[in-house]
Chains A and B, each alone.
Chain A
Amino acid sequence: MIAMPHLRLPAVLDNLEKLISFISECAGKQGYSPAELRRIELAVEEVLVNICRYAYPAGTGDIEVNCKVGSDSSLIEIIDTGIPFDCSTETCPDIEANVCDRKLGGLGIFLVHKMVDKVAYRREGNKNILTLLYKPRGKC
């Protein structure tokens, strides 16, 4: 079995760019368009930011990203060992509210679900394992 390309770094916002670039370069090698890459980057950023901000309330920990990209679909795994958190359920912000009523939070997970085709979560031991499945949809 061939190991998926992976990168593991401390879960801090300073590492966001490195982690996202790793995934983006991995997908870029398959010839995904810039529009496809921005969608993947957005989904990955939202998950990573959540982990950096909330997974390790009592200290520090790592984030590991695994990337398996094919021309017809991509599988991205994002793993942390923080507190259990399942974001595989889609959130529904009120996208018709006005400036006054619109809430500041809750958009990140919503965007993850809009950008990728499938979001799956499992807890294995002390690990949160989130899997994003993305199927290229061409230019739009």
Chain B
Amino acid sequence: MNIEISRGDVVRITLKGRMDAVSSPDFDRALDELMSQGQRQFLLDLSNLEYISSAGLQSLLAAAKRLEQIEGIITLSNLNGAVLEVFQISGFDTLFPILDSRPE
């Protein structure tokens, strides 16, 4: 999985490829670092994320839980294909604020 970070008041994180049990810890570390720098608002662009497993969902949920405690927020955008299907099946589509979500 490729992680691109664009800093601002809202940190935009673009995830590309596969968010699985091997790659999800990379996201955890990236977010840890940003949060330790005081960042509280995140927008995840998932338009080029082609696959997510439970490990990826858990990383996102863990991030949301931590941010909720410090009045931060994580918003997702552009879910599609297999990723959108997994979000809908697992009920994760109602856990996060989601922008521009559209069926295929």
Q: Is chain B a partner of chain A in the same complex?
A: yes
Chain A residues within CB distance 8 Å of chain B: 13-14, 16-17, 34-35, 38-39, 41-42, 45-46, 49, 52, 93, 95-100, 102, 104-105, 107-108, 110-111, 114, 140
A107 near B54 with CB under 8 A, answer yes
Once bound together, how far apart are the Cα atoms of A16 and B96, in whole Å?
28
B55 and A49: CB pair below 8 A? yes
Partner of A38, one of B50, B54, B64, B90: B50
Question: Please, how many residues of chain B have a CB less than 8 angstroms from a CB on the other chain?
Answer: 25
B8 within 8 A of A: no
7 interchain residue pairs of minimum CB distance = A95-B91, A38-B82, A107-B54, A108-B54, A49-B21, A99-B64, A45-B53
Check B61–A42 contact: CB distance below 8 A. Answer: no
**CB pair A107 B57 closer than 8 Å:** yes
* Cβ distance B63 to chain A, nearest Cβ, rounded Å: 10
The verdict on B26 contacting chain A, using a C-beta distance below 8 Å, is no
From residue 19 to 48 of chain B, which have CB atoms closer than 8 A to chain A?
20-22
* Closest chain A residue to B65, Cβ basis: A99
A41–B54 Cα distance when bound, in Å, is: 12
A-contacting residues, B40-78, CB 8 Å: 50-51, 53-55, 57-58, 61-62, 64-65, 68
